[in-house]
Amino acid sequence: MEPIKKDRFIGEYTGEVIPEAEADCRVTNYDSSSFLFEINSSHEIDSTQYGNKTRYLNHSKAEPNCVSKVLLVNGIHRIAFRALVDIEPGEELLFNYGDSFFQFEAVEREGAAERGVIKNNLQRLKETLTRTETGPTGEDDASSDGHDERRPEMTTRRLSKLQSRRKRLLVIPDSDDEYSDDPVAAQLQRERDT
């Protein structure tokens, strides 16, 4: 084991790249753990059967030490993890799944509050779901959360869809952005070329 320096590339989230409809179908058969990671509005990466160690990265909102980033590399969306801080050998790698991930889990499971989900967040989510049930869902309103990391966020459109679905890892990148000059994208490209 070796330390990881801040900003260093950690790895790529790999797995089966499947269309959203297939993900919708699979997710109903999966148990509580979700290894689906949305890469754009039409496809997801499923690392349930095929993947690498990045599938074991757990969630932390308060103290993530790495971050996921959806990169457009030569026209293909790929997910890279990068260190947010210096990481010592033996430290658990944690990234922020996004608020919606565990909120949806909470909606599905009784007793979610006991697992640490804040009750008023749950209430807000339920209200949002009720609104999307009764009204038009509108267009995808994905936007940057103001952070440079461009951590994808749940969209209104996804909320309505997720009423019949289980949780996913982060969703909807800013798909028009090209990151080919990003050092992490360059690293991914080098890995693909070798």
Ligand X SMILES: C[S@@+](CC[C@H](N)C(=O)[O-])C[C@H]1O[C@@H](n2cnc3c(N)ncnc32)[C@H](O)[C@@H]1O
Q: Which positions lie near ligand X, rule CB under 6 A?
A: 32-35, 55-56, 58-59
Q: Minimum distance between the CB of residue 123 and ligand X, rounded to whole angstroms?
A: 21
Q: Minimum distance between the CB of residue 166 and ligand X, rounded to whole angstroms?
A: 9
Task: List the one residue out of 143, 141, 161, 163 whose CA is nearest residue 152.
Answer: 143
* Cα distance between residue 190 and residue 80, in whole Å: 13
Q: Minimum distance between the CB of residue 63 and ligand X, rounded to whole angstroms?
A: 11
Between residues 32 and 134, which has the closer beta carbon with respect to ligand X? 32
Between residues 32 and 194, which has the closer beta carbon with respect to ligand X? 32
Between residues 61 and 126, which has the closer beta carbon with respect to ligand X? 61
Strand 43-46 to strand 36-38: parallel, antiparallel, or no bridges (unpaired)? antiparallel
| Residue ranges of E strands in 56-122 | 58-59, 66-73, 76-83, 94-95
Alpha-helical regions (H) of 28-178:
99-108, 119-134, 156-162
Q: Minimum distance between the CB of residue 27 and ligand X, rounded to whole angstroms?
A: 11
Between residues 9 and 35, which has the closer beta carbon with respect to ligand X? 35
